[in-house]
Amino acid sequence: MSEQERSQERAQQQSQNTGRGFGSGAGGPHAGQEQVQRQTQESDAAFDALLDQIDAVLETNAEEYVRSFVQKGGQ
Amino acid sequence: MGIENEYGVAVEGVHGDRVDPITLSAAVVTAGTSLASRWDYATESPLRDARGYHLPRHEALPDQLTDETRYANRLLGNGARFYVDHAHPEYSGPEVTSARDAVAWDRAGDLIVQAAAEQASATLGERVRVFKNTTDGKGSSYGCHENHLVPRGVPFDAIVEGFTTHLVSRVPFTGAGRVGIGQHGEVTGFQIAQRPDFFEARVGLETTVRRPLINTRDEPHADVLRWRRLHVITGDALVGQWGTWLKVGAASLVLQAIAAGLTWPSVLNPVAAFRAYSHDPSLQQRWTCSDGVDRTAVEVQRMLWERVSPVVAGAVGEWWLDDAGAVHAAWGQALDDASRGADALADRLDWAAKYRLLQGLSQRGGLDWSSPRLAALDLQWADLDPDKGIGLTLERQGALRTVVTPAEVEHARTEPPATTRAWLRGWVLHHFAGHVVQATWDQFTVQVGGRVVTVRLPEPLDHTAARWDHALDEVTDAAEMLRVLETGGARLERS
């Protein structure tokens, strides 16, 4: 991952973390933010679970797998 | 219209250099066909160029001589063609009249090819894998081609001008994603699409070298005075159904607009633009257009989306795309979502979903774009084995949108589309395969008693279920079938 992408990721995570510690309970000014944060956390959790699954399915010898895949040119 | 895929093929645990891909592909094709007939090459004209001349055979590259009977070649009961093309198993889907049907028969093709690979594996005693991608990342590329029927009266120049702009800018909505930049992946990084690095010309007849954005092959497999078949070779092969749907549907809308005489600014230096747009997953890359405006790929697509609106509403021209409205609406929604970046498209498009996974994996493992693990994900995305394929796994998890139901795909494996001549070809194969001597897209030849009769199908939109289903329903033998067809106005020729 490039430096630019890493800093983009960090910025994104920081904006998701805003709202923690501000207000609580329904109806408060930051309730919407908390809901978004909860949804983001849920989708993060779902994404993590998906990554786990992909990790498990991915070919174990990645280098050999990729190296062996050679095709003839087509149209 | 229709989609044809050349699939990547490999033997597990065996380096590709040690495999004869032609033999392997033939094994897959031979294993995969239950209803089959011999292919008829008589109406093929791979050397005729849309710009108005024939390339003499002795000047043709061997690659251009696609009409030579060398390899396994089958016509299937669902109207498709399954064969070996340039060392790849190829499935060429039947003619359809909706983007949705294109997806159903395309996905059916994936299932047929995967089943064929499994059958070949059992026969060969080796695990054969098939991949729905378009490059091995080492300098070779193969195609996912779209075929679009266009009225012959539409000036070819208008197609070159207007359609090129769409083809080079559509990558955010049609890309498969690729780890590696450059034909040999010589630059590390991620790009939106797999095919752009392999395109080197604006217009041309070749398809295997000096690939052109607009392919001039003029082989309509139809009444040559009425129709042109535009053979589009720039697209990526997509595992995701939604991306496939939007890809062929939007292309059809753009062609419909061109046929209606609508025009728009063009992207300058389109070969370079195609690569530049693909190389920027942030979707920020701008490129100068003929009106002096610099646009991102998404902005070019937005412009096209607006310009084709009149034909969707039915105000201009006449076309046959049954789901035009749905395609246009979905395209518009995707344009809106694209303003929020790749992540917003990750539920629909191969490249965006792949990109998201790759970023997640690289974060976990502290990997960079040169890591083989990321390249492995890229490759395995396209594996058509449902237990291994990452694209298919995401779809099963509900993380990649579908367009058709499993039942519709199952239907498409064995039955032809009802709304084109594919229907009649499929019907004949289902009922009288033993009598079929040869078949191709626009004709089939049957032997009945001592007679050899060819039925010509020059109109892709003719010979539908609506025309023949009722009349053929009661037929019990092949001779009666011919009588019904002849009485019903079909063109029969006796040899």
One digit per residue, the tens of pLDDT, for chain A of length 75 reads 554 444 444 444 443 333 333 333 344 455 556 666 666 677 788 899 999 999 999 999 999 999 999 999 999
Tokens 């064969």 locate to B83
pLDDT tens for B195-209 read 999 999 999 999 899
Residues B117/B123/B125/B127 CA torsion (nearest 10 deg): 0
DSSP code, position B39? B
| A57 in B contact zone (CB under 8 Å) | yes
pLDDT at A24: 37
| A65 in B contact zone (CB under 8 Å) | yes
pLDDT at B495: 81
Distance CA B384, CA B246 (A): 21
Share the mean pLDDT of chain B: 93
DSSP code, position B293? -
For residues B486 and A38, which has the higher predicted lDDT (pLDDT)?
B486
Dihedrals phi, psi of B48, to nearest 5 degrees: -85, 130
Q: What's the average model confidence in pLDDT over B259-272? A: 97
pLDDT at A12: 43
pLDDT tens for B111-120 read 999 999 999 9
Residue of A nearest to B387 (CA): A57
Query: Quick check: B87 and B140 in contact, CB under 8 A?
Result: no
CB contact under 8 A, B142 and A71: yes
Q: What's the average model confidence in pLDDT over B208-233? A: 95
pLDDT tens for B98-140 read 999 999 999 999 999 999 999 999 988 999 999 999 999 999 9
pLDDT at A23: 33
For residues A55 and B54, which has the higher predicted lDDT (pLDDT)?
A55
Q: How confident is the model at residue B43 (pLDDT cuts 50, 70, 90)?
A: low
CB contact under 8 A, B357 and A51: yes
pLDDT at B60: 59
Angle separating helix axes B324-338 and B297-307, nearest 10 degrees? 150
CB contact under 8 A, A50 and B189: no
- What sign for the dihedral angle of Cα B374, A54, B11, B414? negative
Dihedrals phi, psi of A26, to nearest 5 degrees: -65, 145
Measured between beta carbons, which residues in chain A are less than 8 angstroms from residue B356? Answer: 47
pLDDT at A10: 46
pLDDT at B70: 45
Query: Quick check: B3 and B145 in contact, CB under 8 A?
Result: yes
From A6's Cα to the closest Cα of chain B, the distance in A is 9
- What sign for the dihedral angle of Cα B305, B311, B316, B317? positive
pLDDT at B50: 74
Q: Which residues of B are catalytic?
A: 85
| Helical segments of B415-488, H only | 422-432, 465-472, 478-487
- At residue B376, does pLDDT exceed 60? yes
pLDDT at B72: 73
Q: What's the average model confidence in pLDDT over B242-255? A: 98
Q: What's the average model confidence in pLDDT over B314-341? A: 91
Measured between beta carbons, which residues in chain B are less than 8 angstroms from residue A47? Answer: 356, 360
pLDDT tens for B64-96 read 656 543 457 788 999 999 999 989 999 999 999
Which among A48, A66, A75 is the nearest to B6, CB-wise?
Answer: A75
pLDDT tens for B276-299 read 999 999 999 999 999 999 999 999
pLDDT at B64: 62
User: E strands, B26-87, where?
Assistant: 48-49, 53-54, 73-75, 81-85
Residue of B nearest to A65 (CA): B376
pLDDT at A37: 64
C-alpha B454 chain-centroid distance:
28
pLDDT at A3: 46
| B369 in A contact zone (CB under 8 Å) | yes
Angle separating helix axes B270-278 and B156-169, nearest 10 degrees? 20
pLDDT at A15: 37
- At residue B374, does pLDDT exceed 70? yes
Helix (H) / strand (E) element for B364: namely helix B350-365
Burial B323-334 (b: 16+ CB within 10 A, else e): bbebbbebbeeb
Length of chain B counted residue by residue: 495
pLDDT-above-90 percentage for chain B:
86
B119 Cβ contact list (under 8 Å, min separation 6): B31, B32
- At residue B315, does pLDDT exceed 90? no
